[in-house]
Structure 1
Amino acid sequence: MKKSIFIGITGGSGSGKTTVVNKIKSEIPSKSMTVIEQDSYYKDQSHLS
């Protein structure tokens, strides 16, 4: 059985998280990894403005 590795990247806005993820993605075959972006989970809050 293959061993799984979980990598979590955190930081403030504009701190370089996407740059780091893109570098990791360029070094690892795309079939071997999944990227879950937290921005994809933001709920629509347009009713608040």
Structure 2
Amino acid sequence: MEQHRYGATPQELAPVIDFLREQFALSPRHVETHPHEPVPEAADAEVM
């Protein structure tokens, strides 16, 4: 199984994603299709 840069598989992250979705009301569609990317609205606030 492919390992992502954080060392966890999407299956392992699923419970965390569900928790974050409840806590921060993230877009379920975006989280499910791009779990490794920030939500677009948050990207503007996170300027490196």
TM-score range, shorter chain: 0.3 to 0.5
Higher helix share: 2
User: Which structure has the bigger radius of gyration?
Assistant: 1
Higher relative contact order structure (alpha carbons within 8 Å, sequence separation ≥ 6): 2
